[in-house]
Amino acid sequence: MDELNTPLVADIMVPDVPVMAPSTSLADALSAMGSTDAGVVFCQTGDAIQVLNQAHCTELLVAAVQGFPVPKCLGDVAEPIGARFHRAETLSAVLLRITHTDVELAVMHGDRIIGYVGPAQWSTLTSQLLDLPTRLPNEPMECMDELTGLPDYRAFRAYLELALIEHQDMQAPFAVALIEVDWRQGLADRHSIEDERRTVQRISSSLMHRLRETDTLFALESGKWALLMTEINTAIGRGVALRLLDGIWKDALPNHGSPLGRITLSIGLAGPDMDADTCDCNAEEALEQSVMSGGHQVRVFGERLI
């Protein structure tokens, strides 16, 4: 017990990144991560979601909901970033900054940055994570955008799986990322419910295909990264919801009030007190029903991923 009560040791390799409190403003968080014109989602429990410079997103910063238990596996991969964790601690935030050339990730406990991954440490972390075949797709992820030279995000996906989603009282980790959808495709012909239905079915098919093949969803929105938030979804118990924000790029989503303007992916995982059956349903059916009923939010439940 003494070990758990010992103050968290911050023996880390952190550049000149100011310490940020959980209540840090969005602007301060942006400034601290060295980003001045990023599209941002900064979310903590009870806070409103804010998005900045949404039409010109060249960088991305994501903050996880505070209160995630520190997973055992985070300690297993902490050595490359020099961070030490106690099992009983909870994370206050995980800040992620993505550019076309590099990735920065800062893990926070309270008001202290206790883990940091920057370009210098990324190759080390990538090497270690790529030795975890059960956490990665059977085939390497294809390059998302050859023109912009986006980096390989296999390690990024695996790290988020390891660092954020494996709850202390759940055996099943959850995979975080984005859906592969060209939002502008199909938006020109919006004259009937049938057009909507066909478009949503195509999105659903791509979505479920990614789920089956990689246990994770990756996506680009017309060459830009879609912004994603992770949150505890009480409707599905200990599941985790992924919410694709409504109207992030209004120029690409002129009719962003339509069913295609906001899609919520709620992918439930069966926990110790959950019936696995509650996590399953036909995704295309759910999408179709929502569109046909004129709903503006689509909720998809997926099978247990791992």
Query: Where do the structural domains in the chain lie, given as residue ranges?
Result: 1-168, 172-306
Instruction: Please tell me the predicted confidence (pLDDT) of residue 151.
Output: 32
The larger pLDDT score, comparing residue 120 to residue 246, is at: 120
The larger pLDDT score, comparing residue 26 to residue 221, is at: 26
Please compute the mean of the pLDDT values over residues 264-278 and round it to a whole number. Answer: 29
Instruction: Please tell me the predicted confidence (pLDDT) of residue 106.
Output: 52
Please compute the mean of the pLDDT values over residues 161-181 and round it to a whole number. Answer: 30
Q: Which residues are registered as beta bridge partners of 40?
A: 61
Instruction: Please tell me the predicted confidence (pLDDT) of residue 236.
Output: 22
The larger pLDDT score, comparing residue 279 to residue 194, is at: 194
User: What average pLDDT does the structure give for the chain?
Assistant: 34
Q: How wide is the angle at C-alpha 264 spanned by C-alphas 61 and 275, nearest 5°?
A: 115
Q: Which residue blocks in the chain are alpha helix, DSSP H?
A: 2-5, 26-32, 72-76, 119-129, 154-160, 193-214, 283-292
Cα dihedral 246/93/78/3 (nearest 10): -150
How many residues comprise the chain? 306
Instruction: Please tell me the predicted confidence (pLDDT) of residue 15.
Output: 32
Instruction: Please tell me the predicted confidence (pLDDT) of residue 246.
Output: 25
Please compute the mean of the pLDDT values over residues 195-199 and round it to a whole number. Answer: 46
pLDDT tens digits for range 59-90 = 333 333 233 334 333 343 333 333 444 444 44
254, two tokens: 């002129």
pLDDT tens digits for range 159-169 = 333 333 332 22
Instruction: Please tell me the predicted confidence (pLDDT) of residue 120.
Output: 46
Q: Which residues contact 249 (CB under 8 A, 6 or more apart)?
A: 54, 55, 57, 183, 221, 222, 224
Please compute the mean of the pLDDT values over residues 16-39 and round it to a whole number. Answer: 39
